[in-house]
Structure 1
Amino acid sequence: MGSAPELLKNPAYYALNGPHARLALIRGRVRRYQPEVAPFLGLPDEPTEQDWADAAELVGVGNTVAFKGPDRPVPDSFKVVQKFGLVQFVAPDSFGVEEPEAVLLGPDDVPEMVALVALTDPGPFRPRTIECGRYLGLRRDGELIAMAGERYHLPGYIEISAVCTHPDYRGQGLGSRLVRAVAAGIEQAGERPFLHTGATNATAIRLYEKLGFSVSNRMSVTIVEPAGR
């Protein structure tokens, strides 16, 4: 596979202008996910002063959003709450493997999914995040002990996200099995899987490299809130 396309540098924007348009709130050229779906803002690749003004109106004073991409200056109309590095990986060809134990998770499973995310902190997961795509889980004695699913969906690519395992069941390869299972569904849809992990998460980076993933981008996550008047 060659280098990843430019749109992977700005995944939220191209998802919300493409397959996830149904989940978008829009002002001018700016997009954001509906707040109960995800906390992400989609800015054009080269945002103008007007784009930033539209973003401030779309987000609203007192609310925070996050955007991913190359480092860019943030205007005085926004306050930076937090910023951290991220590594983006793309899966190798024919990576997916079906997982016979995996169960498809639906709206009735959301309370358990939210609880597992709160316990393990794989990244944001909200009551309607499940509307982004297909989520799979593993259960033991009826309890949800691991999960993974699809978040950003942009042309040609679907992100694997919310990969987490209950602390009592770690070290058994459950996360890797679910990553492959989610990837199998993505590949069957004719798309390529990709994912993100924190730039300081050496364990996850080693795991994805061992699984054959290749780095497509190094970027930042910037959490901001409108500064108000």
Structure 2
Amino acid sequence: MDAEEMIPLSNADAKDMLDLVQKTKPGPFGKRTSEMGNYIGIRDQGRLIAMARERMRPDGYVEISAVCVDEDWRGRGLAGRLVKTLGRQIEQLGEAPFLHVFSDNRSAIGLYERLGFELRRTFHLTRIGHAVSGSAAVL
């Protein structure tokens, strides 16, 4: 398998990243999200099949986010490898990794617990976006 190499991802990978997000729905991810944080990914024969990134950085902590694996590649340890790699990088900087996960994503929660993460807090998330209308307003 060619998928063993983790590679840094950049804006040049944005289309592939958006395609993977469309398939896996890891959470909020927009057209310019690829510009935020340190991304790493795994490709197979050129196709991006898994990725994760660093996002928020409150004092002493770094969030691991956008962890996603193409459905055809799940169960092979790719998400775990990505999270462990980012976690090690974060810890080498003297900071602590953390992450968020939707409460109904039982498989991700199980993975994160096996990797040593523990539930610290449950909170409610409301996403607000622009309403789509039939006509554009001119201001």
TM-score for the superposition, normalised by structure 1: 0.52
1:136-163 CA-to-partner distances (Å, cap 9, x unmatched) read 0001111111000011111111111111
Matched ranges for 1:191-206 at <5 A? 191-206=95-110
Q: Which SS does the other structure have where 1:175 is aligned? A: helix
Tell me, yes or no, if the aligned pair for 1:129 and 1:151 is still in contact at 8 Å. Answer: no
1:106 aligns to 2:10 (yes or no): yes
- The 3-state SS of whatever aligns with 2:101 is strand
2:92 aligns with 188
Distance 1:128 1:155 in 2: 24
Structure 1 residues 188 and 136: alpha-carbon distance in aligned structure 2, compared to 1, 3 A threshold: same
Alignment equivalent of 1:214, drawn from 112, 118, 130: 118
Aligned to 1:63: none
Q: Matched residues in 1 for 2:57 and 2:105: separation?
A: 24
Q: How many Å apart are 1:170 and its aligned residue?
A: 1.0
The secondary structure found in structure 1 opposite 2:104 is coil
Give the greater-gyration-radius structure (CA): 1
- 1:223 is displaced (CA, Å) by 2.5
**Matches of 2:51 and 2:44, distance apart in 1:** 12
Note the C-alpha offset of 1:189: 2.0
User: Please, which of 23, 46, 57 is the counterpart of residue 142 of structure 1?
Assistant: 46
Higher strand share: 1
The AA in structure 1 aligned to 2:71 is P
Aligned mates of 1:225, 1:136 — CA distance in 2: 28
SS in 2 for 1:212: coil
Runs of 4+ in 1 over 6 A off after TM superposition: none
Q: Which runs of 5+ in 1 are unaligned?
A: 1-99
SS at match of 1:154: coil
What is the total number of aligned residue pairs between the two structures? 127
Q: CA RMSD in A?
A: 1.7
Name the SS for the 1:139 alignment partner.
strand
Determine the C-alpha separation between the residues in 2 that align with 1:224 and 1:112: 25
For residues 77-130 of structure 1, the C-alpha deviation after alignment (integer angstroms, 9 at most, x for no partner) is xxxxxxxxxxxxxxxxxxxxxxx7210001100110011000110111222223
In the other structure, the counterpart of 1:171 is 75
TM-score by length of 2: 0.84
Inter-CA distance 225–139: structure 2 relative to 1 (3 Å threshold): closer
Stretches of structure 2 that go unaligned for 5 or more consecutive residues are 131-139
Specify which structure has the bigger relative contact order, considering alpha-carbon pairs within 8 angstroms and separated by 6 or more residues. Answer: 1
Contact 2:41/2:50 (8 A) holds in 1: yes
User: In 1, distance between residues paired with 2:74 and 2:107?
Assistant: 13
